[in-house]
Amino acid sequence: MQKRTLGAHGPQVSIVGLGANNFGGRTDAATSERVIAKAIDCGITLIDTSDNYGNRGGSETILGNALGARRNDVVLATKFGLPMDDSGSKRGASRRYAMQAVEASLRRLRTDWIDLYQVHFPDSRTPIEETLRALDDLVKAGKVRFIGCSNFSAAQLREALGVSEHARIASFVTCQDQYNLLDRGLEKDRLPIMRGHGLGLLPYFPLASGLLTGKYKEDAAPPAGTRFAGATPRGNDTFMNARNWRLVHELSDFATERGHSLLELAIGWLVSQPFIPSVIAGATRPEQIEQNIAAAGWALTAADLAAIDRITL
């Protein structure tokens, strides 16, 4: 599988990654382990999780149990900052908590180091310099190789990069943000900052929670067992709204006219963006791994990309 550099200075990773947000939640341990094994067998080298996934620690625990001797075969990314208890004491990006959170993640993941450690959400209660100096110490200690952020605004990202540059400490190499054919909002503000500083974009919800797979139909109830099946109508409105359904229909027609599926278009379009080192796609069954990898094989032309822009922008 094709590989790209994780940001300007990070390691090489496969252009298709594995998102572990379902492990320990929608996907039980046995199925998760089969998905992980399939991903590695197929050449996926980037696995992304969070300490919060899988009911607070379940995803990391499953990964730690599943990887074993294959730990060296993957670039392991995780995040910290979301609540890990009901009291609210285990959360945020303070130095004190970052040091606790990394040790807990290392134990669950059964590893001595984390390849990419990401701040899951900005912490308004903690100065970003405090967070970055803590992460820099973790890098120097060898417990973390590279650092990244997720869900930062343009102003927050600019401030963080400025602090790292001024203090000459570890700097973010990636940003993980929502980005897909239905949501291109970051192109207006955050993307120019990322590209100017050589940061890679790791898009989450690359398939718009499944809306870009073709499995949902506008006039039909969500299939049982899918992400939207148990959600409230208000919760579904984030993706299932009139504007997005119009785009889904137009993009589906675009893909069909060229002999491809909507899934292939969604992933192929992301792979076509040079600032994206890897498309982190979730999977609840081993066969979805092969589908995601195959979808990345559609090489979109400049004319294709221009036509997609006319539909989505």
Query: Which residue in this structure is represented by tokens 């979808």?
Result: 295
Q: Of the CATH numbers 3.20.20.100, 3.10.129.10, 2.60.40.1080, 3.30.460.80, which one belongs to the domain with range 3-312?
A: 3.20.20.100
Each residue of 35-45: b (16+ CB within 10 Å) or e? Answer: bbebbbebebb
Tell me the C-alpha distance between 54 and 294, whole Å: 27
Q: Domain locations in the chain?
A: 3-312
Tell me the C-alpha distance between 60 and 114, whole Å: 11
Instruction: Render pLDDT for 144-158 as a digit per residue (tens, 0 to 9).
Output: 999 999 999 999 999
Residue 115 in tokens: 């390849």
Segment (H or E) for 75? strand 75-80
Phi-psi domain of 99 (left: phi exceeds 0; alpha: psi -120 through 50; beta: other): alpha
3-state class (DSSP) for residue 250: helix
Band the pLDDT of 231: cuts 50, 70, 90.
Answer: low
Instruction: Render pLDDT for 60-92 as a digit per residue (tens, 0 to 9).
Output: 999 999 999 999 999 999 999 999 999 989 999
Instruction: Render pLDDT for 26-68 as a digit per residue (tens, 0 to 9).
Output: 999 999 999 999 999 999 999 999 999 999 999 999 999 999 9
Tell me the C-alpha distance between 308 and 121, whole Å: 31
Instruction: Determine the pLDDT at residue 240.
Output: 84
Active site residues: 53
